[in-house]
Structure 1
Amino acid sequence: MTVDKPGDLHRIRVADLVQPFASESAGNGPKLAPRPDGALPAVPKGFKVGIYAENLGKSRLPLRAPNGDIFLSEAAKGQITILRSTDGIKADGVSVYATGLSRPYGMALWPAGPNPTYLYVANVNSVVRFPYSVGDLKAQGEPEVVVDKISDTSGGHVTRTLAFSKDGKTMFLSVGSATNIASRIGAQPSLPLAQWEAKYGLGAAWGEETERAAVLAFDVDGRNRRPYANGLRNCVGMLVHPQTGDLFCSVNERDELGDNLPPDYVTRVKQGGFYGWPWYYIGAQEDPRLKGIRPDLKDKVTTPDTLIQSHSAPLGMTVYQAPKGAKYAFPKEYEGDIFLALHGSWNRGIRTGYKVVRVMMKKGVPTGQYQDFMTGMVLSDRDVWGRPAAVEVAQDGALLVVDDGGGVVWRIVPGK
């Protein structure tokens, strides 16, 4: 069993990558165990952790409203809920905001600032929006469909994540692949390759993978649908960095190449960029299972910024930026860094993930390093008692961690 502890630093380099199939592919999913009596996650010295909300089930993605309310998407229930706290320390109210949705995951308020007018929600097969006024605990009427027919919903990867550009004019939507390595796409796209890529973007796969493993872009009303970037197997965490305006993705890379291949990653995502899937991984490393199919792409793959331990399953992330006047603001060195939830491995003999890490940045640019921040949920190579799924910064500066394994939202603040 790997023993992680807060403060551990990691850096994985392309030059250090092992060969495909250097180890056998493991099927080692976790067994969820009850949290031991009195057990809390481990956090760095100078911080303390407590429970913000519990008994939540499989809540996933949090979103903070301007008044401090925390929206939570609950895909399995098809609903959005709201946590409200009078003291900021613990949620004392849970309201069902909307029901009848189709596996909702990503959410975003628009426009940015103190008075958004819409809550956007990404269903598995559409994007909808609700009229919103700050303080609403119930949806104001039925949702308006902004984007329909996102993708074929067969296969895996049903999370859809939303973000708006810094100027508020572009809506980004991430859509994960249907399969592990595009194993059922067939030999050729339905159009000549040059026409296909002109329509769907550089490196885009076809068949059931059309407009998948991709970030799509739209105007805020859902019009002007267009490709933004391809080759991102499953961009679950997606955000626009508030300082630089850069779009970032946290990506679950492919399985079944061995314990230590390929790394997952966090990266800036450039318009027109191609990040490898399914033909290549971590730059120009060709997947041996698709050898020789797209040699023309080898020198066109963008290598991601920060490589994460293979099979860690990075999910939700947030840039740490303390709200003005925050009582529990983190030390200044955390400002602008990314906190990332690692949900935890199944395709690895020695378990990894099940923690929150800090992706180190310098003036908005990833350094390639990441640091363990919240750990301690792994009991053995079989049992875990928590699975971090997403993070958000609370109105008072606390870091909230959604743990969908334990049904808890953890609250981390500076202190003894």
Structure 2
Amino acid sequence: MQKPARTSSQPGSSRPWWPLPLVVLLAGCSIAGAGVQQLTPPGVGPHPTLPRPARSGLIPTVNIAPAEQWPQGSVPQAPVGFKVTALAAGLDHPRWVYTLPNGDVLVAESNKPAPEQGAKNVHADGLRGKAMGMVMKRAGAGTPSANRITLLRDADGDGVAETRAVFMTDLVSPFGMALVGDQLYIANANAIVKVPYETGQTSIASTPIKVTDLPAGANHHWTKNIIASGDGSKLYATVGSNSNIGDNGMEAEQGRAAIWEVDLSTGSKRIFASGLRNPNGLGWEPQSKALWTVVNERDELGNDLVPDYLTSVKDGAFYGWPWSYWGQHVDTRVKPPNPEMVAKAVPPDYGLGAHVAPLGLAFSDARMPAQYASGAFIGQHGSWNRKDLTGYNVVFVPFAGGQPSGPPVQFLGGFLSKEGKAHGRPVGVALDAKGALLVADDVGNTIWRVVRSE
């Protein structure tokens, strides 16, 4: 097995993300406040105009929608011609969904793991960590990880699962899932594991077998997603960065901010693409067969920087993090600079707007109506570092000829109340066996199903 590749010949550290005086101020700041959601803010499109960086100084913009339960009987808002049902409610922080060939749906109920023994917890150390913990708790992200996968089955097709079974337990913050032949692969926060699977099983008692380790430790970005190649010979795994901009030095980032390629016959792996701050959703574009991902970019450069993005993933490409963004736009906060790596940085394909936090990605097909039959559904978890709230929805980006062909349009909304509270926050998205869209809502603790009503 190959060792994680170094991303630079000049490893170094950048300035701390938030200075200590800020931490004290942040601990008492309010995160309440509604914002007008913009579907197409600056930073959207294949060649977005980027504003000048706006450094936040001691006090960054902190505005995240506090969690509030869905009112009784209410559901997210879908376009005309669609209806929304709760496939399952009352789950425990559902983050990811995966459809099995027989139509059963697997749900990863998961949250941030505790740091591994001996690892520095960069997200919880000191007053800053306590302040951020308070913010995340109010945002609905402070619950312990259930470390569980649940199986849902809607046998009668009414959009509500009448079977809910505990499929697997005792995992380590599970996220991505992929079935290859009779083996089910699960991406834990620290490793890819596998178990044997038989069609129709509602639970698995087998002890998972480790396929390969994944970079873990402090896990500033802990979610690990996987997708299988078309021939089933390889897995591709996402690993987010351990900081905003390499704040703890590049030694803490070895093997991170990358997509790994894992050979299933040998267990060996290599970095397929790097410089991706926090990639999550993965999908094979149906026409080109290219691998695509959605990426959460860096914070604290202003309301409209840096655009999160949707991009094809090129073998061997470097996408800039932490030294630059959107190609050769240098982030002067990162020390020491690295002009050699900046010169190699590949700009992404399509901006989604700054701070929308895209996590889920699912390519559509002809089972959807014509206007949604070719393109990508993206679950946007929502902003925290922007004055006006953005994201908190599922958008659809149309495709033609294997490339995005128009601006994002909202497909599922209503997650924010008029008062700026979050009834829900979308994460994973997937098509079910009948072509309906499934959306994991980790604040609403629900899997939503969106289907044609006519």
TM range (shorter): 0.7 to 0.9
For 1:50 and 1:303, the matched residues in 2 are separated by: 39
For 2:72 and 2:281, the matched residues in 1 are separated by: 32
Residue 182 of structure 1 deviates from its aligned partner by 0.4
For 1:313 and 1:175, the matched residues in 2 are separated by: 16
For 1:291 and 1:253, the matched residues in 2 are separated by: 18
- Give the equivalent residue in structure 2 for 1:251: 295
- Verify the 8 A CA contact 1:57 1:406 in the aligned structure 2: no
- Give the equivalent residue in structure 2 for 1:212: 256
Q: Secondary structure of 1:288's partner?
A: coil
Stretch moving more, 221-230 or 245-254? 221-230
Counterpart amino acid of residue 92 in structure 1: E
- Classify 1:8/1:298 alpha carbon distance in 2 versus 1 (closer, same or farther; 3 Å): closer
- Give the equivalent residue in structure 2 for 1:126: 191
For 2:237 and 2:365, the matched residues in 1 are separated by: 23
For 1:50 and 1:143, the matched residues in 2 are separated by: 33
- Classify 1:411/1:100 alpha carbon distance in 2 versus 1 (closer, same or farther; 3 Å): same
- Verify the 8 A CA contact 2:280 2:293 in the aligned structure 1: yes
Identify which of 283, 295, 303 aligns with 1:239.
283
- Unmatched tracts of structure 2, length 5 or more: 1-34, 111-144
For 1:333 and 1:262, the matched residues in 2 are separated by: 29
- Give the equivalent residue in structure 2 for 1:193: none
For 1:345 and 1:178, the matched residues in 2 are separated by: 19
1:383 and 2:421 correspond? yes
- Give the equivalent residue in structure 1 for 2:337: 293
Counterparts of 1:2-401 in structure 2, within 5 Å, are 2-3=36-37, 11-12=44-45, 14-21=47-54, 25-75=60-110, 76-88=145-157, 89-110=159-180, 116-148=181-213, 150-185=214-249, 206-221=250-265, 223-290=267-334, 293-321=337-365, 329-367=367-405, 369-380=407-418, 382-401=420-439
For 1:228 and 1:309, the matched residues in 2 are separated by: 25
Residue 207 of structure 1 deviates from its aligned partner by 0.5
For 1:167 and 1:359, the matched residues in 2 are separated by: 27
Residue 33 of structure 1 deviates from its aligned partner by 1.3
Normalised by the size of structure 2, how large is the TM-score? 0.80
Percent identity of the aligned residues?
A: 38
- Verify the 8 A CA contact 2:43 2:304 in the aligned structure 1: no
For 1:85 and 1:10, the matched residues in 2 are separated by: 40
For 2:307 and 2:200, the matched residues in 1 are separated by: 41
Normalised by the size of structure 1, how large is the TM-score? 0.87
- Verify the 8 A CA contact 1:159 1:175 in the aligned structure 2: yes
- Classify 1:23/1:360 alpha carbon distance in 2 versus 1 (closer, same or farther; 3 Å): farther
For 1:38 and 1:412, the matched residues in 2 are separated by: 16
- Unmatched tracts of structure 1, length 5 or more: 111-115, 186-205, 323-328
Stretch moving more, 331-340 or 119-128? 331-340
Residue 11 of structure 1 deviates from its aligned partner by 3.6
Q: Deviations over 1:186-209 (max 9, x none)?
A: xxxxxxxxxxxxxxxxxxxx4110
Q: Deviations over 1:333-378 (max 9, x none)?
A: 4233110100111111111111000122113222363211111221
Q: CA RMSD in A?
A: 2.1
Residue 381 of structure 1 deviates from its aligned partner by 6.0
Q: Secondary structure of 2:409's partner?
A: strand
Residue 138 of structure 1 deviates from its aligned partner by 1.2
- Give the equivalent residue in structure 2 for 1:194: none
Counterpart amino acid of residue 90 in structure 1: V
Residue 103 of structure 1 deviates from its aligned partner by 0.7
- Classify 1:291/1:139 alpha carbon distance in 2 versus 1 (closer, same or farther; 3 Å): same
Stretch moving more, 8-17 or 170-179? 8-17
Counterpart amino acid of residue 180 in structure 1: N
